[in-house]
Chains A and B, each alone.
Chain A
Amino acid sequence: MNFALTDEQEFLKEAARGALSRFKTVEAARETLDGGELPDLWPTAVEAGWPGLMVSEEHGGAGLHVMEGMLVFSELGRVLASVPLLGHAPASYLLDVAGAQDVLEALASGEQRAALVAAKPPSDVEPRWTVEARLGIERPEAPEVGEDGSVTGTVAWVPDAPGADLLVVVGADGRAALVRGTDAEVEPVTRYDATRSLGHVRFDSAAGTLLEPPEGAAAAAWYIAQALLAAESLGAVERALEVSVQYSKERFTFGRAIGSYQAVKHELVEMLRRSENARSLMYYTGWAGQDTPHEFPVAASAFRLTAGHALDHASRAQISVHGGIGATWEHDAPLYFRRAQLSRRLLGGTHGAADRVAGELLEAARTAA
């Protein structure tokens, strides 16, 4: 047994942190809300090899796995870095296992960018593949993917769709197709968290190429996206905790550092408790991704749920610990809060992950009974 990161994985993490430290990403997150420009981190990502991290070596990638992907995402999340990998990484995974050789090299090198137009796989209570609704909680059916690979339908809130060269669509029956970005209508929506690029995507009999991924791969792409989003949240929790602990040692009231008060101390420990639980589930997700694929759906969903709650809690606790200043525009805490608020509502939502954990385990119990 060895349930810890390898030296190579630790190195990957450090290298990512080092590469991102050259940019003022958090400041940029604030300035962009005021109409500024985000720094272009794609060249840095390309230099670090992130676009091809999870693409197999034969297709020009690094041949690494979801664990490594999550480690990079946790570093991105720490500093609210805006790199359009949440769409790109699961999309290139699906293309990789489907053997779409002709496009992979450009994607792995970062010369082109893909986005996954993800669909949520059916569960024990929902027989359809569904996607995000633009408004409301009723999930519409995923787009229709024809025999010829053409796509018709609408999907809201697609991460990294604006500017993507290629869109990998998962359709109503779990069938997948590759569509050029220019063949779809993409309406960019960058609002509450300016570091997050999202788009509403409309396909009107868009020409596409049918992909033939192995059984279960379209679902796996959904869970990879869950895992990466969760890892990103965990990174943000870690940073929020560090900043809050530091402040609670420096800020004095009634002659005492505020971190000496139980009310504050216990809140900080709660941040740690939640992040440690999330970290254990991140390792579970990484391990299941490679060694026990049948557990990957439950692992990734449990990680998404736990990391999502951890960020919800940490982003509020960070503001409380800082007092009034924590709720002002000049502080970083509101940017983490905005990140938390938007993240919990993307890709099926944190609550959807809870239902998925239940569905997977109840189904397993029915099978065992």
Chain B
Amino acid sequence: MDLNDTPELAEYRTMVRSWLAEHKAQAPTMRAEDEGTDEHEHVARRRAWQRELAAGGLAAVTWPAEYGGQGLGPLHQVVVNQEIGRAGVPGIFDIIGVGMLGPTLIAHGSEEQKQRYLGSMLAADEVWCQLFSEPAAGSDLAGVQSRARQAQDGSWRLSGQKVWTTNAQHAAFGLLLARTDADVPKHKGLTMFVVPMDAPGVTIRPLRQISGEAHFNEVFFDDVALDPLSEVGAVNNGWAVGMTTLLFERVAIGLGGEGFGWRADRFAAALLADEAATRDPEVRHRYGEIAADFLALRFTGYRMLTTLQRGGIPGPEGALAKVTTIKAAIAAGELLVDVLGPDGLGDDLWGELVSDLPGLKSAGGTEEILRNMVGERVLGLPPEPRLDKGVPFSELRAKERASAAVTRPLAEADAGAPS
């Protein structure tokens, strides 16, 4: 067990720290402290700051140098994250683009695409969004119904609807998963596309949530024209491309909780608002449980980093870190607002935590689906019976309807304990 920096990493840390000290004055405030300012103004400041960070080499630490990155490893990225946190400044604005979509383009995109998109993504001149989930395709992502049809000249027409899209209103481009062949089983007929968000036929609507804020959008595509060669990777190979994105997402979430500012020490500091509460046995007990979960997550992250550093790919058990993160964050929000009283529900930090978490529980795969995945891939348990294996996507609907029709009323069911 060794969490100390190697001499090389220590030197890198010093460099990052002094860069941040020098440039800190130009950094915008965090969103919660920036309350009252116009959202677009705030985003403009965050983008300018990302440009600064990119120029300083702190934005795309793990990207190859030829695409504007530093060509460094995941540990360097962690050092940057830690030092940004320590300096109390925001990180990059386009986390989804730089953290997940850029690496996907690097892995699967054409050379032209890489040259065209990566530089401006890094500098936040063009923000990106991820267009995967749909109203009827979330955890079962391969069920996407957005349809792209190719014309003779190689161009495409795209129609459909996406949902849960962060930053769509700020984005120049989206990475979109669409069905291109409905006559093959569902995983096999998908293609990944680059979609310009200002194209005619694209409509973006904010999706308000429990807190009243809109952190996500719905995006509609009505016969949108896409240029030839808009596809990323081969036609009908979109599933593999999407898996790359989700792998980066898994790593981000696995290393994540504390990145969102959900930390045992911050919760402790918040509890000090009521000194009497810190001596209350019930508050202490609940807080102790929450803190232990967040500590476990921190060190699970280090275990995952060790795997990455050795050239391995973190396994699906990383999904369990997400389950623990959400469980512990829900408990933390509840506890803090219990201590603050009803007014706490309106609190920008803890009140919003309470309101946001029911939705976040399903983000990046519902808890139920993650548990299925871990049960099957890690513990080797037999899979759920499924109706869609090997069935062409176009016949799936009819099959689903037929299965619904044979569901009998409870009284007729024969599955029960012996009497």
Contacts and interface: CB of A to CB of B under 8 A. Distances in A.
Interface of A: 1-4, 67, 125, 245, 248-249, 254, 256-257, 259-260, 262, 265-266, 268-270, 272-273, 276-281, 283-284, 286-287, 290-291, 298-299, 301-302, 305-306, 351, 353-359, 361-362, 364-366, 368-369
Contacts of B297: 277, 280
B278 interface: yes
B192 interface: no
Given A1-B306, A277-B324, A302 B381 contact: no
B374 interface: yes
B296 A361 contact: no
Nearest to B5: A1
A298 B268 contact: no
Contact of B288 (A259, A273, A357, A364): A357
A266 B319 CA distance: 13
9 contacts: A1-B4, A3-B2, A4-B1, A245-B380, A257-B382, A283-B1, A283-B302, A356-B288, A357-B295
Given A276-B320, A280-B303, A356-B288, A1 B278 contact: no
Given A3-B1, A257-B382, A286-B1, A354 B299 contact: no
Interface stretch (B181-189, B197-205, B279-287): B279-287
A266 B371 contact: yes
B264 interface: yes
B285 A358 contact: yes
B324 A3 contact: no
- Interface-central residue, B1, B272, B291, by most chain A CB under 10 Å: B1
A269 B375 CA distance: 6
Given A273-B323, A283-B1, A259 B382 contact: yes
B265 interface: yes
- Interface-central residue, B296, B368, B382, by most chain A CB under 10 Å: B296
Nearest to A65: B1
Contacts of A3: 1-3, 299, 302-303, 305-306
B205 to A, nearest CB: 34
Contact of A2 (B1, B279, B288): B1
B271 interface: yes
A257 B371 CA distance: 17
Contacts of B380: 245, 249
B289 interface: yes
Interface in B281-329: 281, 283-285, 287-289, 291-293, 295-300, 302-303, 305-306, 309, 317, 320, 323-324
Nearest to B373: A269
Contacts of B385: 256, 260
Interface of B: 1-5, 9, 75, 264-265, 268-269, 271-272, 278-279, 281, 283-285, 287-289, 291-293, 295-300, 302-303, 305-306, 309, 317, 320, 323-324, 368, 371-372, 374-376, 378-385, 415
B325 to A, nearest CB: 11
B379 A245 contact: yes
A161 to B, nearest CB: 29
Contact of A272 (B269, B281, B372, B374): B374
A96 to B, nearest CB: 21
A281 B381 contact: no
Contact of A358 (B3, B291, B324, B368): B291
A302 B291 contact: yes
B306 A277 contact: no
Nearest to B378: A272
A27 to B, nearest CB: 26
Contacts of B284: 125, 354-355, 358-359, 362
B371 A265 contact: yes
A272 B279 CA distance: 33
Given A283-B1, A286-B1, A125 B279 contact: yes
Nearest to A359: B284
Given A281-B296, A361-B264, 16 more contacts: A3-B299, A249-B382, A259-B379, A260-B384, A260-B385, A262-B384, A268-B381, A277-B296, A277-B324, A280-B300, A281-B299, A302-B295, A306-B292, A353-B288, A355-B285, A358-B288
A283 B320 CA distance: 18
A284 B25 CA distance: 36
A277 B327 CA distance: 13
A268 B379 contact: yes
B379 A366 contact: no
- Interface-central residue, A248, A260, A351, A353, by most chain B CB under 10 Å: A260
A59 to B, nearest CB: 24
Given A272-B320, A283-B299, A249 B291 contact: no
A35 B3 CA distance: 49
A268 B375 contact: yes
Given A1-B309, A259-B381, A268-B379, A354 B292 contact: yes
B141 to A, nearest CB: 19
Contacts of B288: 301, 305, 353-358
A362 B268 contact: yes
B265 A365 contact: yes
Contacts of A277: 293, 296-297, 300, 324
Contacts of A281: 292, 295-296, 299
Contacts of B279: 125
